[in-house]
Amino acid sequence: MLIHLKNLTPPDVQNYLQHAIAPRPIAFASTIDKAGNVNLSPFSFFNLFSSNPPIVIFSPARRVRDNSTKHSLQNVEEVREVVINIVDYDMVQQTSLASCDFPKASNEFVKAGFTEEKATLVIPPMVKESKIKLECKVLEIKPLGTEGGAGILVICEVLCMHIDDSILDADKKIDQAKIQHVARLGGDWYCRVDANNLFKVAKPNTELGIGIDVLPQGIRHSKILTGNHLGQLANVKEMPVVEPSFSDDKLKNIIQYYSINPEDMDLELHAYAAKLLDDGNVHDAWQVLLADEL
Ligand SMILES: Cc1cc2nc3c(=O)[nH]c(=O)nc-3n(C[C@H](O)[C@H](O)[C@H](O)COP(=O)(O)O)c2cc1C
């Protein structure tokens, strides 16, 4: 299916984009107006855009239904400060409750049952229950349009971070498995990041990977190895060679058993290499595949 967004209604454009650009982290933004009325609202049009200077942006959009603007926006126009509280699984239902269109004078800390905690550098209060809070100065407010659905970028400089000790590791860094982030997807869908669905991808940081284009044909056009497997194999910094000292019982068994049937041997060796790659063992996977190439 190919869709041209100009042929869709604004709610349909929003629907396709929000399902496609997902998952999105959630900024739980605490703001205040000149009269001292506090507001607390979630925004998933939010991300980190720079670390030096440290810049995050969230976007309270004009409402699609009536083109009105959000209280959070009105507040940061009056008092150019915000606390962005990061939302984790323990907070998600109350956070959703805070997104109701409560009247301007009502405080979502109270409506959604969160505790106000005094910030150190800015006036809006922090959400005590949040395990990471960013005290921010608003640098710029940039409207992206004038119709309903138009985003309005609130560009913020992060002045300081509060991090709950319970999510730190021994080196005082955030332990990714300890903060159970939630993120917004399309419609009512959310996802929860926890130790069961986290995985690592080795970063080709300082060394260049050899690239998929130089993989031997038999590997590159394997019936078994997937794009992820080829990505792992091609991320080595130089083409591996057969190591005479490499010894593996399963490899020996496959070669012995399938010696009269090279096609089946191929499939078996690739399946074994795939398993090794799934376990993160790129070195042994290469040795198994090189044995096949001999
Ligand atoms: C998880 C979540 C994410 C949301 N993200 C956005 C967003 O990025 N932009 C937006 O305009 N509204 C978003 N909303 C809706 C706003 O939170 C809602 O309109 C807001 O609370 C309005 O409050 P206010 O007028 O008090 O600022 C989101 C709602 C939820 C529950």
Query: Residue 248 Cα, ligand 1 centroid: separation in angstroms?
Result: 56
- Structure token digits, residue 294: 């001999």
Pocket of ligand 1 (CB under 6 A): 26, 39, 41-45, 59-61, 70-72, 96, 99, 101, 184
Tell me what pLDDT residue 58 has. 98
Query: Residue 100 Cα, ligand 1 centroid: separation in angstroms?
Result: 8
| Residue ID of nearest Cα to ligand 1 atom 4 | 43
Tell me what pLDDT residue 205 has. 65
Tell me what pLDDT residue 293 has. 67
- How far is the C-alpha of 162 from the C-alpha of 133, rounded, in Å? 5
Residue to substitute in 40, 70, 82 for testing ligand 1 pocket (most ligand atoms within 8 angstroms of CB) = 70
Pick the atom of ligand 1 nearest to 58's CA: 8
Pick the atom of ligand 1 nearest to 190's CA: 1
Query: Residue 112 Cα, ligand 1 centroid: separation in angstroms?
Result: 14
Cβ burial 115-126 (10 Å sphere, 16+ → b, else e)? ebbebeebebbb
| Residue ID of nearest Cα to ligand 1 atom 20 | 99
Tell me what pLDDT residue 203 has. 79
Pick the atom of ligand 1 nearest to 75's CA: 27
Q: Distance from first CA to last CA of the chain, Å, rounded?
A: 44
- How far is the C-alpha of 60 from the C-alpha of 71, rounded, in Å? 9
- Residues 230, 221 contacting (CB under 8 angstroms): no
What's the Cα-to-Cα distance from 141 to each of 40, 54, 237, 256, rounded to whole Å? 18, 16, 44, 69
Sign of CA dihedral 202, 251, 274, 225: positive
Query: Residue 228 Cα, ligand 1 centroid: separation in angstroms?
Result: 36
Q: What is the pLDDT along the chain (294 residues), one digit of tens a residue?
A: 999 999 999 999 999 999 999 999 999 999 999 999 999 999 999 999 999 999 999 999 999 889 999 999 999 999 999 999 999 999 999 999 999 999 988 999 999 999 999 999 999 999 999 999 999 999 999 999 999 999 999 999 999 999 999 999 999 999 999 999 999 999 999 999 998 999 999 877 678 999 999 999 999 999 999 999 999 999 999 999 999 999 999 999 999 999 899 899 999 999 999 999 999 999 999 999 999 766
Query: Residue 99 Cα, ligand 1 centroid: separation in angstroms?
Result: 5
- Structure token digits, residue 279: 């376990």
Tell me what pLDDT residue 105 has. 85
Tell me what pLDDT residue 282 has. 96
